[in-house]
């Protein structure tokens, strides 16, 4: 049945939220929503729990029907046997929608679980009420401070929205994106997707002006045909990253022809991703790293990279990875070589592209400025990846900040992607603990930064390929 | 032309005969080596004269899935005399190998000149509906599974990507001094089959195997169509 878009919008952008069935000692749902900007109420019949809720300054009611005014979002955390009663009240109350944390439904494969879910779905559909879940973490909205994890940030201006069939991966993607300096507009944990399915959420987010890009973790696809059609058009409007789990599972199908015997679930999925111009990722890290490349680089389909590494061996390794990911590492112009030759330390160094630059940059950070100025003037170069040294980082961030300033100047001047690389173990034997702190620092400065050449090249390569495909499809 | 899908439905068949499948494809403007159903030696010769020599003769029976296993395929028949002889011998062989099979006759088609063998197919994905496949024929599809897929409906761009996505592409581009295949003709055929499948939701599976790819054009030589269970 078609989704009531206005009601879904209310549920995902609520002014009034009611938590039904929260429990001590933590009262996790109420606690998570401590920063919520709207009205937060509770429904709890258990008097002991109700007292604990009131003690937290949240008004408690005995039923949804008693709450004055409109309710936009109900967070349902009651046991499964009680859930149908809450749904009935919510339908009667004409709430915007419901996020159902309650589990124990079809995922158990028990007859009682299947029957209860069927009941809930029928009631929600007949009442025209959007229902997120069940068996999910619900909805996060950054601007309004509706959260399902205390660590989810509150603030303006998200750069991506996340949909996840798994609650764990929804949290992992959100927290991971935040760690890489990416604000998340909203996260929707869709669980069993019994009433609203992945196509419904995709459609909403494609039209959502607060959502500049979309990342999804999916396993099964319920409305495959609609999902395909939405995705095919949608990626022309905004980038969509999809990490699909369970891809190797063999599909059960009756096979009578050659074609059918070869059309595995995975083969068809990869064809769909390519045909729709979506960005396909393969793991949580891959997804987060691709999000960072997407959000922290200017749109570019260009291939020619300048690669600045800190040793000879690293300059070979970085080149291998970027070429493998579809980039090219061109020679510079004669005038660039002439200018570089004036100051570059060539004993234990090289500036052919890739650069082996530790002797040059290590002594004088002014030299990085000179290198970047020359690269900015060279028409052969369309993007830069720099291995960042962290050896003084623990004492002071000054040196790294100086490099980040230069990278920012380069990016502002050229409009090209600039990527930082702080490899685990490091070319110069830096310690991982310092490396991870430095990566957080670089992320917060708004640059994509990676713990290996391979992951950086892969992430940037996926994003580049998206823009190349987009240009070909929209020209 | 009789509605072959309705006929098959009425007879509770999901497998179309080669003649039926090719009629349906030809009607949609897809380049196929047409086959004519003939019963008897005289009709076989008439059919051969209408499609032009040399011809291929194949047994037509709803009970026989693998024609060559029962001696039901004869190639390179050059004249009326050899057609008559081939008909008599084929029916005798099949009667011995598959005594209970109901024989509708034989399919006579012009023997197309050899081209590069490719496969163009369609199947129904349980999640995404009709899906198209393209690959090189023979060992490339059987062993290496070097094929590309797209979801129906395809745009011209999708067909172009499919043809270029397979690892065996250099073979189509004219490896070892051979003349390059007409890739635009293959792409056009793929798009036509996509439109054909979209227009016939009854079709669950389709194999054009092989399609002969020529320096100028492409031709589906064999066709197999399976309808969805009613």
C-alpha distances out from residue A322 to A190, A237, A331, A352, B166, Å: 36, 28, 15, 16, 23
Say what percent of chain B tops pLDDT 90. Answer: 83
Give A-chain residues touching B209 at CB under 8 angstroms.
258
CB A19 within 8 A of CB A33: yes
Residues of chain A with CATH 3.40.50.720: 1-134
Report the half-sphere exposure of B87 (CA within 13 A, side-chain side).
24
B132 Cβ neighbours under 8 A, 6+ residues apart: B120, B121, B122, B149, B150, B151, B152, B154, B162, B190, B193, B194, B197
**Nearest-by-CA chain A residue for B65:** A256
pLDDT at site B54? 95
Q: What is the ipTM of this complex?
A: 0.89
Is residue A97 a contact partner of residue A190, using CB atoms and an 8 Å limit? no
> In chain A, which residues have their Cβ closer than 8 Å to the Cβ of B125?
224, 263, 268
CB-based contact, A245 to chain B, within 8 Å: no
Instruction: Give the list of residues 6+ apart from residue A41 with CB closer than 8 angstroms, or none.
Output: A16, A17, A18, A19, A58, A59, A60, A61, A67, A71
Helices and strands per DSSP (H, E), number in chain A: 18, 17
Mean per-residue pLDDT, B16-29: 94
**Interface residue A413 vs chain B (CB under 8 A):** no
Q: Are residues A225 and B205, on separate chains, in Cβ contact within 8 Å?
A: no
pLDDT at B65: 75
Residues of A in contact with B226 (CB under 8 A): 256-257
DSSP B75-108: EEE-SHHHHHHHHHHHHHHHHHH-TTPPP-EEEE
Q: Work out the average pLDDT over B190-206.
A: 97
Q: How far is B82 from chain A (nearest CA, A)?
A: 33
| Per-residue pLDDT tens over the stretch B124-163 | 999 999 999 999 987 788 788 899 999 999 999 999 999 9
> Which ranges of chain B would DSSP assign to H, the alpha helix?
4-10, 18-27, 41-51, 80-97, 139-142, 156-165, 169-172, 183-199
pLDDT band at B178 (very low <50, low <70, confident <90, very high): confident
Nearest to B151 among A256, A260, A271 (CB): A271
Enter the pTM of the model: 0.93
With respect to CATH, is domain A1-134 assigned 3.10.450.50?
A: no
For residue A263, the chain B residues in CB contact (below 8 A) are 123, 125, 131, 133, 149
Q: Please tell me the CATH code under which domain A300-474 is placed.
A: 3.40.50.261
Buried b (16+ CB within 10 A) or exposed e, A18-51: bbbbbbbeebbbbebbeebeebbbbbbeeeebbe
DSSP letter (8 states) at residue B180: P
Contacts of A277 in chain B (CB under 8 A): none
Q: What kind of fold does domain A136-296 have according to CATH?
A: Rossmann fold (3.40.50)
Q: Where in chain A is the domain with CATH 3.40.50.261?
A: 136-296, 300-474
Residue B175's pLDDT is 83
* Minimal Cβ distance to A275: which of B141, B158, B226: B158
Contact A263 B157 (CB under 8 A): no
Contact B125 A259 (CB under 8 A): no
> Which residue, A225, A236, A325, is CA-closest to A272?
A225
- Count of Cβ atoms closer than 10 Å to residue B62 Cβ: 15
Measured between beta carbons, the chain A residues lying within 8 angstroms of B156 are none
Tens place of pLDDT per residue across chain A (475 aa): 678 999 999 999 999 999 999 998 999 999 999 999 999 999 999 999 999 999 999 999 999 999 999 999 999 999 999 999 999 999 999 999 999 999 999 999 999 999 999 999 999 999 999 999 999 999 999 999 999 999 999 999 899 999 999 999 999 999 999 999 999 999 999 999 999 999 999 999 999 999 999 999 999 888 999 999 999 999 999 999 999 987 655 544 445 567 777 888 889 999 999 999 999 999 999 999 999 999 999 999 999 999 999 989 999 999 999 999 999 999 999 999 999 999 988 888 889 999 999 888 876 668 899 999 999 999 999 999 999 988 778 888 998 999 999 999 999 999 999 999 999 875 455 578 889 899 999 999 999 999 999 999 999 999 999 999 999 998 8
Domains and CATH numbers, chain B: 34-110 (3.30.1490.20), 116-227 (3.30.470.20)
Asked if A260 lies within 8 A of B123 by C-beta distance, the reply is: yes
């Amino acid at each position: 049945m078609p989704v009531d878009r206005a009601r879904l919008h209310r549920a995902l952008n609520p002014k009034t939220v009611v938590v039904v069935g929260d429990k001590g000692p933590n009262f996790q749902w109420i606690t998570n929503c401590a920063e919520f900007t709207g009205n937060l109420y509770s429904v709890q019949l258990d008097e002991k729990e109700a007292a604990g809720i009131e003690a937290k300054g949240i008004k408690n009611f005995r039923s949804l029907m008693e709450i004055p005014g409109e309710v936009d979002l109900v967070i349902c955390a009651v046991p499964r046997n009680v859930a149908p009663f809450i749904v009935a009240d919510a339908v009667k109350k004409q709430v915007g929608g419901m996020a159902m944390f309650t589990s124990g439904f079809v995922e158990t494969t028990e007859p009682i679980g299947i029957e209860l879910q069927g009941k809930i779905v029928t009631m929600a559909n007949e009442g025209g009420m959007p229902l997120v879940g069940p068996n999910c973490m619900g909805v996060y909205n950054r601007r309004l401070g509706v959260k399902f994890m205390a660590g989810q940030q509150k603030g303006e201006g998200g750069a991506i929205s996340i949909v996840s069939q798994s609650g764990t991966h929804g949290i992992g993607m959100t927290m991971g994106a935040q760690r890489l300096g990416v604000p998340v507009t909203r996260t929707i944990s869709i669980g069993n997707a019994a009433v609203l399915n992945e196509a419904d959420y995709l459609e909403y987010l494609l039209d959502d002006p607060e959502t500049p890009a979309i990342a999804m973790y999916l396993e099964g696809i319920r409305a495959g045909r609609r999902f395909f059609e939405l995705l095919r058009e949608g990626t022309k409007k905004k980038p969509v990253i999809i990490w699909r789990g369970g891809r190797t599972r063999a599909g059960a199908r009756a096979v009578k022809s050659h074609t059918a015997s070869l059309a595995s679930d995975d083969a068809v999925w990869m064809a769909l991703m390519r045909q729709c111009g979506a960005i396909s990722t393969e793991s949580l890290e891959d997804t987060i790293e691709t999000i960072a490349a997407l959000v922290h680089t200017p749109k570019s389909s260009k291939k020619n990279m300048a690669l600045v590494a800190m040793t000879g061996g690293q300059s070979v390794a970085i080149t291998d990875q970027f070429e493998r990911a579809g980039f090219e590492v061109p020679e510079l112009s004669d005038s660039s070589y002439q200018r570089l030759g004036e100051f570059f330390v060539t004993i234990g160094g090289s500036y052919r592209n890739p650069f082996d630059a530790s002797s040059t940059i290590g002594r004088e950070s002014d030299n990085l400025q000179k290198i970047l100025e020359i690269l900015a003037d060279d028409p052969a170069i369309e993007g830069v990846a720099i291995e960042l040294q962290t050896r003084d980082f623990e004492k002071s961030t000054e040196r790294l900040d100086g490099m980040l300033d230069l990278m920012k100047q380069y990016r502002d001047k050229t409009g090209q992607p600039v990527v930082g690389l702080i490899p685990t173990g490091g070319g110069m034997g830096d310690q991982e603990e310092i490396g991870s702190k430095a990566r957080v620092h670089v992320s917060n400065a708004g640059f994509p930064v990676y713990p290996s050449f391979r992951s950086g090249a892969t992430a940037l390569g996926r994003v580049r390929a998206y823009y190349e495909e987009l240009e070909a499809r929209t020209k | 032309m009789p509605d072959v899908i309705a006929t098959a439905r009425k007879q509770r068949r999901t497998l179309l005969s080669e003649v039926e499948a090719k009629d349906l494809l030809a009607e949609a403007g897809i380049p196929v080596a047409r086959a004519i159903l003939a019963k008897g030696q005289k009709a076989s010769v008439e059919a051969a004269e209408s499609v032009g020599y040399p011809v291929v003769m194949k047994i037509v029976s709803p009970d026989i899935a693998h024609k060559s296993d029962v001696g039901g395929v004869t190639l390179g028949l050059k004249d009326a005399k050899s057609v008559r002889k081939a008909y008599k011998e084929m029916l005798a062989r099949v009667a011995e190998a598959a005594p209970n099979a109901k024989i509708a006759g034989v399919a006579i088609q012009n023997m197309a000149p050899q081209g590069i063998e490719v496969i163009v197919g369609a199947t129904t994905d349980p999640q995404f509906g009709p899906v198209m496949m393209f690959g090189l024929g023979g060992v490339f599809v059987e062993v290496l599974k070097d094929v590309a897929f797209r979801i129906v409906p395809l745009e011209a761009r999708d067909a172009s990507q499919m043809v270029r996505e397979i690892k065996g592409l250099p073979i189509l581009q004219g490896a070892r001094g051979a003349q390059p295949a007409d890739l635009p003709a293959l792409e056009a055929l793929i798009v036509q089959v996509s439109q054909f499948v979209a227009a016939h939701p009854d079709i669950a599976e389709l194999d054009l195997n092989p399609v002969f790819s020529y320096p100028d054009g492409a031709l589906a030589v064999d066709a197999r169509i399976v309808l969805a269970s009613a």
